[in-house]
Amino acid sequence: MQNASDIHGIVNTSDLLPVEYGYSSKEMGEANEVLLDIPFYKIIQKYEPETYRKIKAELDEQIKKGATGIELQRAGAKILEPLVTSVMPRTSDEALIQFYQIALVRLTKLKEIDPILCLKAIYPKQYGSVSFSQYLSNDEVTSMLDTFSKIIIDAYEKDNPVVDADAAELLLDRLFVELGEHVDHLEFEGLQNRDDYERHCDAVIKLYETIVVKDKAAAGNLLRYMISPETETEYKESPSETVKLGSNVSSRDMNDLATFADKWLEIDHEANDAQKN
């Protein structure tokens, strides 16, 4: 299963690169101009100029080598992954809650199409990744990109709270009571068929639906706690996973379910056009 720092399993950073979305190789030769046509990259250039410089330099180098579109995406994704991992725990309550609200809509949509798609979104290492472009509308793609821009801005511009682990764990205890029978299906191990997949996805969706409607400060603190690298370190130091948060679900299970970031930032040429216009 994934850990808290392995955010790149959820937000597909390779899909953030505009290389297979209607740009010719000649146009990609001016990587800086192409990237700055996309508002998201203007945000990166402003707040993470070194990351932006690395992306542009890598694209330029790969293009000179004659790299394919997929190769360009993979190269850029490796540079973007640390940024995604870094800003999520440092952003505002509002941005975190907004991000998860949109992610929930996506998970629900994937589950309704086929529960295995939902599992692919949450656990790409176990079930294989899923590209959301074929399942989401242009507006849905653009809204998530805008939300992640807000995540970056708020991480730098706002004085955001640090994690209160005690408060987060107390809230989790209460949540398991509220979840009722759903808590029995949060356990990832032993899923065998479509019914199991659907019940597990329903439980994950219900969990986050229950979190995001809580008081803003409490919800933000819990989400921050669940994706914090510091939280992951605690799990590594306790490999026996003896601490249970509820029913048969361990703290590591909850941490794994919380890594909702690195597969949700989808962008295609229609989304680029929508933001330009």
Which range is least confidently modeled, 8-12, 150-154, 225-229? 8-12
Which range is least confidently modeled, 71-75, 127-131, 151-155? 71-75
Residue 249: pLDDT above 50? no
Q: Strand pairing partners for 250?
A: 244
Cα separation, 274 vs 265, in Å, equals 16
pLDDT bin (cut points 50, 70, 90) of residue 229 is confident
Cα separation, 200 vs 252, in Å, equals 16
Residue 274: pLDDT above 90? no
Cα separation, 161 vs 106, in Å, equals 28
pLDDT number for residue 243: 34
Cα separation, 55 vs 85, in Å, equals 16
pLDDT number for residue 227: 86
Residue 171: pLDDT above 90? yes
Tell me the backbone φ, ψ of residue 244, rounded to 5 degrees: -105, 135
Q: What 3-state class would DSSP assign to 100?
A: helix
Whether 164 and 231 have beta carbons less than 8 Å apart is answered as: no
Which range is least confidently modeled, 13-22, 129-138, 262-271? 262-271
Instruction: List CB contacts of 68: < 8 A, sequence separation 6 or more.
Output: none
What is the CA 239 to chain-centroid distance, rounded? 25
64, two tokens: 């000179």
pLDDT digits (tens, 9 = 90+) for 182-195: 999 988 788 999 99
pLDDT number for residue 212: 95
Cα separation, 219 vs 233, in Å, equals 22
* Highest-pLDDT range among 101-105, 145-149, 192-196: 192-196
Cα separation, 56 vs 24, in Å, equals 16
Q: What is the mean pLDDT of the chain?
A: 75
> How large is the average pLDDT for residues 58-83?
78
pLDDT digits (tens, 9 = 90+) for 194-204: 999 999 999 99
pLDDT number for residue 267: 38
Alpha helices in the chain (DSSP H): 25-28, 31-36, 39-47, 49-64, 69-87, 93-113, 115-122, 124-127, 138-157, 165-179, 194-212, 216-226, 229-236, 251-257, 269-276
Cα separation, 23 vs 36, in Å, equals 14
- Could you tell me what percent of the chain has a pLDDT over 70? 68
Residue 86: pLDDT above 50? yes
Cα separation, 251 vs 57, in Å, equals 40
pLDDT bin (cut points 50, 70, 90) of residue 268 is very low
pLDDT bin (cut points 50, 70, 90) of residue 71 is confident
3-class secondary structure per residue, 178-201: HHHHHHHHCCCCCCCCHHHHHHHH
* Highest-pLDDT range among 5-14, 60-69, 211-220, 237-246: 211-220
Cα separation, 202 vs 28, in Å, equals 42
Residue 62: pLDDT above 70? yes
pLDDT bin (cut points 50, 70, 90) of residue 27 is low
pLDDT number for residue 29: 54
CA Rg value for the chain? 19
Whether 178 and 210 have beta carbons less than 8 Å apart is answered as: yes
- More confident call, 123 vs 96: 96
Q: How far is CA 236 from CA 88, 110, 187, 241, 244, in A?
A: 20, 31, 19, 9, 15
115, two tokens: 């529960």
Helix (H) or strand (E) holding 130: none
